[in-house]
Chain A
Amino acid sequence: MNRFYPPSGLRESNPTKADGLLAGLHLDLPLLTGLILLCLYGLFVLYSASGQDAAHIERQLIRLALAFTVMIVVAQIPPAQLRRWSPRLYIISLLLLSAVLIIGHVGKGAQRWLDLGFFRFQPAELAKLAVPMMITWFLAEKTLPPTSRRLAIAGIMILAPVLMIAKQPDLGTSLLVASAGIFVLFLAGLSWRFMGAMVVTAVPAGWALWEWGMREYQRSRVLTFLDPERDPLGTGYHIIQSKIAIGSGGLYGKGWLNGTQSHLEFLPERTTDFIFAVLSEEFGLTGIILLLSLYLFIILRGLYIATQAQDTFNRLLGGALTLVFFVYLFVNTGMVSGLLPVVGVPLPLISYGGTSLVTIMAGFGILMSIHTHRKLLPT
């Protein structure tokens, strides 16, 4: 990626030259800087979490290269073009999701990807972008805030792919896709009264389901889901171990490569979903604050880009994509620190693994495209 972005550009020594190059590539310097710093930080942690395995780093570097390339390619596409593609993209992802369900049904097992021969493709990843794009396209057609009829239609458009993904079953991804759609609704001016009403109806509905709709063992599973430490022999074990890792990290951490929890293999999934625990153990609260600052910077930059955007479609889409990125972060860190239930969501840009990485970076590509394809307003 240095080819596209010379290190000199990081320093502000030659801003004009760097700006010219970046502008030509339709990239946003602050956002790009934040992303690169975050990825570098992640590589350091991954090196330790993987047990100093160079092969892990190599594979992750290849994925990062691919993901940044995707971002750059997406950034070249004008937002108007993205807008035109939205319905098609949405329908394609619905078709692919049904295909996955049918194949999964035939294969009698959980199925998330389609095998295209040369690579495996997860349609749910496409849905992460297609759903907010579709909802944005739909709502941006008319003046905002949307009427309740259009809200209902949008709700159905969110629910269809979410249910299909939940059925795969992939709770984590369906949650992300749902939140992407809901964020669009929120940013489009969903009335507070409506949000309040949803909460008010959800509580008795949940209670009724609990009281009459569930059997004893199902209740027990829900309780364990909400409070994994209830089940120290199952998922609770992960949480117990990851809390020990985080807590024993203290203010400054045990130092890079010195985390006992991860190196003695007490911590499960330490390169993927629980990598945050490795970071917390080795770099302590200081390392966490650095990490969260980077994330916060990226999120605020994303929201800023959204507010500066010139039309409703760009604004809503940019804002929603940024907020989904935050959901990734919050759900993952909340889970690892025992604050939230265990849902399989990776720590964005840090966890080992490629599929979500590409989608996230494609999302940032869209943000950059929104920011760099602005035109001067006619006066």
Chain B
Amino acid sequence: MSYATLKDYLRESRLFQNRALIAAMVVVLALFALLGRLVVLQVMNHQHFITLSQDNRVKVLPLPPTRGLILDRNGLILAQNLPTFSLEVIPERVKDLDWTLRELGAIVNITDSDHKRFEQLRSQRRRFDSIPIRVRLDKEEVARLSASRHRFPGVEIEAKLLRHYPLEDKTAHVVGYVGRINEKELQTIDASSYSGTSHIGKTGVEKSYEEILHGKVGLQQVEVNALGRIIRVLHSEPPEPGKNLHLSLDAGLQQAAISAFGEETGAAVAIDPRNGSILALVSNPGFDPNLFVEGISAKDYDMLQQSETKPLFNRAIRGQYPPGSTVKPFIGLAGLETDTMTANQKNYCPGFFQLPGHSHKYRDWRKGGHGGVDLEQAITQSCDVYFYALAHQMGIDKLHRFLNRFGFGRLTGVDIAGERGGLLPSREWKKQTRKQPWYPGETLIMGIGQGYFLTTPLQLAHAAATLAARGMEHPPRVVQSISSDYSTVAQSNIGEPRALQQNNAKNWSKVIESMTQVIEGPRGTARLLKNDNYRIAGKTGTAQVFSVKQDEEYDEEKVAKKMRDHALFIAFAPVEDPRIAVAVIVENGGHGGSIAAPIAKRIMDFHLLGQEM
């Protein structure tokens, strides 16, 4: 062994001995710490623990919190908790399940779908869990069951609070509903805060405000005897009930809007432009959310799912439609604000538009054209050629940038779960998703709200509200405030407004004035809305469902209802001091002016005049 390696060897050996000694000391110290802990438990707190262990029949039971209520702006209840009785079976404690179910069926009515749901739940849960066989027993049934309960060990009548939505389908798409917690949700919730709670918000406000509505679980340390019966409550931490939500929604307005729709399918959203609060949000038809609370039967679900009118689909926040001509005021404003043109500049409309050097004719909705039109005339008569030309002049990049400011193509951030963002096309978007360059023709049709461009009714209402507030953008909110007690309104939930960039306030006035002429002008497309009570600014729109070939006529009569155009209308009123902004879309309704505008009118009437037509 050379001297160097020997030196290394000794050095390493010493290093190791050093470290081993430290390790040994740490081990001894740690064991002493542990021993100290045990002395605390076994010597110092011995009496405490011996008492606990002597009658350690201590059980910890969860005390589930009561879910918060949901109320409309006038205090009308939209979601509450009703006591209900259900008949529950604990499979483990039942000797002959088939016999028990048969005999129970002789006392109360148990349908096939009850049986199916029971079997389904039984396969999902543990043997010692209590499983409902019948829910919502009436008083008479409870009495009859109680009388013969002794015959059925393992069968219990359970009283519990069940979520109930008094307005049923009227508010289903806003309030949403709760349902049983499923596997997937179990993974993201704090399991112990939901022990004793079987339901969780699935859609709408019930979902987006789940944490606030749920409250905090309480617990009870109880002493039980050998049979598990509670003898004494040792310690109790009461649950903290969920907080109540006060919506800005007006249930009356909501109902008025729904009745205005009649049999038509579509959506309407009404927003207060002064603060962004949602006054009405309708997706017609609705559905009864109460069906989902205790688990919907397969038959009911299939019916809702397969219905052609898609009642489960929340059109107001998830339906994505081409905005059609309702986007023209915004594009006109873009033209003014970017100094692309002036309001008085006239454009000649021969009934079609051609890109220089191209033969393709982009047609106007009016075959003969509108002749020479300025901005106001273009908006009131909804001249397509004017906006083809304007869009072409501005180009896609400017157009995209400007429309983006109004919230098109992105989520409004509304506090209702499940919102979709629509689509505001751009050069980059097309390159990324389609791997294609942007074509000038696509800019043209974007100028009249067609092509790739998609918006939700909420986005349209939000944009109309922003226009009405002359650039003050308020994030749309349906929950106005949150209160922890029925009486005290605690916490405001209104979002911070944001001022949009403005070049010249006159431009905004000009566009709003033009929108007023849509209703008041002799050739306005919504002139049947003209009234003496208040002034309305609006814009009609028609969104193509299927495209008409070049040189072909679109004949309403010949086209099947399903293929007919969507009718749109956006408006706000009173023009001088807007208190309501509305967007209405009627699926396959045809013309915006004749179908969608009257619905918007009835919504505004109800809100501004307090009259139901």
Contact = CB atoms under 8 A, between A and B. Distances in A.
Interface of A: 143-145, 183, 186-189, 216-217, 220-221, 224, 231-234, 237, 240-241, 243-251, 260-261, 264, 266, 280-281, 284-285, 288-289, 292, 295-296, 299-300, 303, 306-307, 312, 315-316, 319, 323, 326, 330, 333-334, 337-339, 378
B219 A186 contact: no
Given A232-B219, A233-B60, A244-B53, A224 B192 contact: yes
A319 B1 CA distance: 25
Of B1, B52, B188, chain A has the most CB atoms within 10 Å of the CB of B52
9 contacts: A189-B19, A233-B219, A247-B48, A284-B42, A288-B42, A306-B20, A319-B19, A319-B20, A330-B34
Interface string B23-60: 11001101101110111011101101110111010001
A285 B27 contact: no
A247 B49 contact: yes
A250 B8 contact: no
B23 A303 contact: yes
Given A144-B12, A220-B190, A250-B42, A303 B20 contact: yes
Contact of B16 (A143, A224, A312, A339): A312
- Give chain A's interface secondary structure class: helix
B326 to A, nearest CB: 39
A143 B12 contact: yes
Nearest to B226: A264
B15 A144 contact: yes
B74 interface: no
Interface string B156-200: 000000000000000000000000000000001111110100000
Contacts of B1: 378
Sorted nearest first, the 7 A-B pairs with minimum C-beta distance are: A247-B49, A248-B53, A247-B41, A248-B49, A233-B192, A248-B50, A234-B192
Contacts of B190: 217, 220-221
Given A220-B193, A251-B42, A333-B34, 17 more contacts: A143-B8, A144-B12, A183-B23, A231-B192, A232-B219, A233-B60, A244-B53, A246-B38, A247-B42, A248-B46, A248-B50, A250-B43, A285-B43, A300-B27, A337-B37, A339-B37, A378-B1
Interface string B1-16: 1000000100011011
Contacts of B502: none
Contacts of A264: 56
Interface residues of B, number: 46
B15 to A, nearest CB: 5
B52 A186 contact: no
A148 to B, nearest CB: 17
B457 interface: no
B236 interface: no
Contacts of B41: 243, 246-247, 337
Contacts of A289: 35
Contact of B45 (A247, A281, A312, A315): A247
B75 to A, nearest CB: 31
A337 B49 contact: no
B283 to A, nearest CB: 30
Nearest to B211: A216
Interface of B: 1, 8, 12-13, 15-17, 19-20, 23-24, 27-28, 30-31, 33-35, 37-39, 41-43, 45-46, 48-50, 52-54, 56, 60, 62, 188-193, 195, 211, 217, 219, 221
A216 B188 CA distance: 10
B24 A266 contact: no
B149 to A, nearest CB: 29
A300 B56 contact: no
Contacts of A244: 49, 52-53, 56
B38 A337 contact: yes
B213 to A, nearest CB: 15
A251 B41 CA distance: 10
B23 A319 contact: yes
Given A232-B60, A244-B49, A307-B20, A334 B34 contact: yes
Contact of A237 (B30, B60, B211): B60
A307 B16 contact: yes
A296 B56 contact: no
Contacts of B34: 292, 330, 333-334, 337, 339
A250 B50 contact: yes
Contact of A189 (B15, B38, B60): B15
